[in-house]
Amino acid sequence: MSVTHSDHTTAAKRATFLRTELERHNRLYYIEAKPEISDRQFDELLRELQDIEARFPDLVTPDSPTQRVGGAPLEGFAQIRHAVPMMSLDNTYSEEELAAFYQRLVKGLGREHIDCTLEPKIDGVAVTIRYEDGLLKHAATRGDGQMGDDVTVNMKTVKTLPLRLPENVPQTFEVRGEVFMPKKGFAKMNDEREEAGEPRFANPRNATAGTLKQLDPRIVATRPLDVILYGVADAEEARVKSQHEVFALMKRAGLRTADHVWRCRSADDLVKAIRELDEKRRSLPYETDGAVIKVDSFDDQRELGVTSKAPRWAIAYKYQPEQAETKLLAVDIQVGRTGALTPVARLEPVFLSGSTVSNATLHNFEEIERKDIRVGDHVIIEKAGEVIPAVVSVNKDRRGGQEHRVHAPDKCPVCHAPVSRDEELVVIRCPNPRCPEQVKRRIEHFVHRGAMDIRGLGESVVAQLVDHKLVSDPADLYDLNELLLARLERQGAKSIDNLLNAIAGSKTQPPWRLVFGLGILHVGASSARTLLEHFSSIDKLAEASVEDLTQCPDIGGTVAPSIHGWFRDAHNQELLARLKAAGLTFAQRETELASDKLAGTTWVITGTLSRPRDEIADRIRANGGKVSGSVSAKTTYLLAGEEAGSKLDKAAKLGVQVIDEAAFNAMLG
């Protein structure tokens, strides 16, 4: 079959369209928790693109979603058929509906009192985990209930999940539970993503779903996943007769269960427990969106049976997410470090879930349009746990005709440069690297505590330095002097002196802080540390090829090209040269060695130890050893504390010697 010129042209156009669409849907699903199409429709689009690329290989681009880890979520995972289907639950939203559920149980079983359990409904992703002969055999997501993704390697990175069962429990059975991200871990991870110039996840559940679909378990291992187990697939196999026996079995097996479980035997008990859980759930370390009520006895459960999609013996009770209505006063546009233009809602202050809210996120301009949000509208805002409040909808009944629409800007509101649309993320950006707002964000990042830690350079001083054209990049900070600083407002001689000292003092900061401070896309503080440990100087790092970079532990296929590209840019090269000339530290300082007892050894630290890991890592370095983030053939020792997880497995596979803290202390005498 001959391929005509116009075939190719049509295919090229279609491929471009599909790529943009797929990336947009990826973002809606993972980042914004607002999917517009089903997984199946997504797969169809992806398959169409794959077909085009197979017919016209020259149309494959390196950034095509078909080439991207996580871009083809369901293509990369083997499928596991559930021996026992994974059902979902019917929902109730009021105490009356809950009482009606209890009445159905009473009627179905013909008894007045039915023992039930009530436990938190954890807002994560359902998993099933099979143990055989005492060992974790596989783990799978729910999928369509009959078949799910094989996420064994990813689940093995979850430290609280035992890889081997103790001997006092059945050795072959399947447990079911919810994978989630703890509130604190989620917040920290999102902060780190922001610092590395990556988009924040919208909520812990989406972050969890996205992480489980990661094809690179090295990335999964850096995410704070955890799991709580609440059931078994086959009661006979697990040798349990009731839900309360399930909880007892889990405890014996070392499987984590919910922090609170109630046993109830009337509708009143259930209502009381629901209210108690509501009091407690805010202080739980994970997000909960309700309660799950289950008939305790498995005999009773069998008698009640199931419908086509949900059991009759269980129900979910959903709490109302906390919402408030307030007036949208304005929509401001924030310019980020990478130029991303984000709309922010300015609100009439309103009290919600324990604090006064006057700003909320609007995610992006598409969303403003889709929800038809107008300035002057009364909007409903919602706060889910720790997450920043979001505008969820408009109360259109209160519109008076004075409201006005918000349009996506076609110019940067600060420097007036025509905006560009980032194809990958469909983010509207100011493309002007000299835009004063971008410059301010970059300087703020450079000087902040986690990076160069220059005290006295808060947001307002940075703003003045940039507005007075005294600073347009980090190297300019080192050219400042008393005369120049005297132009700033509200800066006395003493504070100018302090500021200059702090700037000069930062020249001796270790080079990883400088690399982090430069704000290279995807390079967070911990990657910067690893890079400098590996390459020992910024000069060597600057020369590294993409391949050299991927040799470095924890640096994968997304980060390496980003670093490589940054150091190839002429402006960046000039910036580095100026920073070097200013006397900043480019080479890792040879630390004063306490001893060379660990010379030539490479260490990986895992599990819970008696001291923070950083401290132990410093001690290893001070004695001549190297520390790395992941176990590889190059690892000499794995120092394993309590509850060490997947790294132990990997070490065993590679024949890496594992030692405990006592042995480590003994080595150093």
| Contact set with ligand IVH (CB under 6 A) | 87-89, 119, 121-122, 126, 142, 178, 230-231, 292, 311, 314, 316
Give least dist CB 68 to ligand IVH, A: 27
3-state helix, strand, coil in the chain (%, to 5): 40, 20, 40
Tokens 């590209």 appear where?
A: 565
Q: How far apart are CA 505 and CA 513, in angstroms?
A: 13
State which residue has the least CB distance to ligand IVH: 126
Tell me the sheet residues that pair with 331: 345
Tokens of 336: 């980020």
Give least dist CB 108 to ligand IVH, A: 16
CB 27 within 8 A of CB 71: no
Catalytic residues: 121
Q: How far is CA 581 from CA 45, 184, 479, 505, in A?
A: 52, 41, 11, 15
CB 623 within 8 A of CB 595: yes
Q: How far apart are CA 155 and CA 139, in angstroms?
A: 7
Relative to beta strand 657-659, strand 637-640 is parallel
- Give the N- to C-terminal CA distance of the chain in Å, as an integer: 76
Q: How far apart are CA 360 and CA 344, in angstroms?
A: 6
Q: How far is CA 176 from CA 130, 166, 173, 180, 256, in A?
A: 9, 18, 10, 13, 11
Kindly give, in sequence order, each residue whose CB lies less than 8 Å from that of residue 154, ignoring residues fewer than 6 positions away: 139, 211, 212, 214, 217, 220, 225
| Number of neighbouring beta carbons within 10 Å of residue 460 | 11
Q: Strands, E, within 115-208: which ranges?
A: 116-122, 125-132, 135-141, 147-149, 173-180
CB 157 within 8 A of CB 225: yes
CB 366 within 8 A of CB 421: no
Kindly give, in sequence order, each residue whose CB lies less than 8 Å from that of residue 542, ignoring residues fewer than 6 positions away: 567, 573, 576
Based on its alpha-carbon atoms, the radius of gyration of the chain, rounded to whole angstroms, reads 28
Tokens of 77: 């995972």
Q: How far apart are CA 444 and CA 505, in angstroms?
A: 17
Query: Helix axis angle, 183-195 relative to 525-535, nearest 10°?
Result: 60
Q: How far apart are CA 578 and CA 478, in angstroms?
A: 9
Half-sphere exposure of 328 (CA within 13 A, CB side): 34
Q: What is the strand order of the sheet 173-180 is part of?
A: 135-141, 125-132, 173-180, 226-232
DSSP letter string over 336-395?
A: -TT-BEEEEEEEEEEEETTEEEEEEE---HHHHHHTT-EET-EEEEEE-TTSPPEEEEE-
- Whichever of 121 and 529 has its CB closer to ligand IVH, that residue is 121
CB 218 within 8 A of CB 275: no
Give least dist CB 124 to ligand IVH, A: 7
Give the helix/strand (H/E) hosting 621. helix 613-622
Kindly give, in sequence order, each residue whose CB lies less than 8 Å from that of residue 411, ignoring residues fewer than 6 positions away: 417, 418, 419
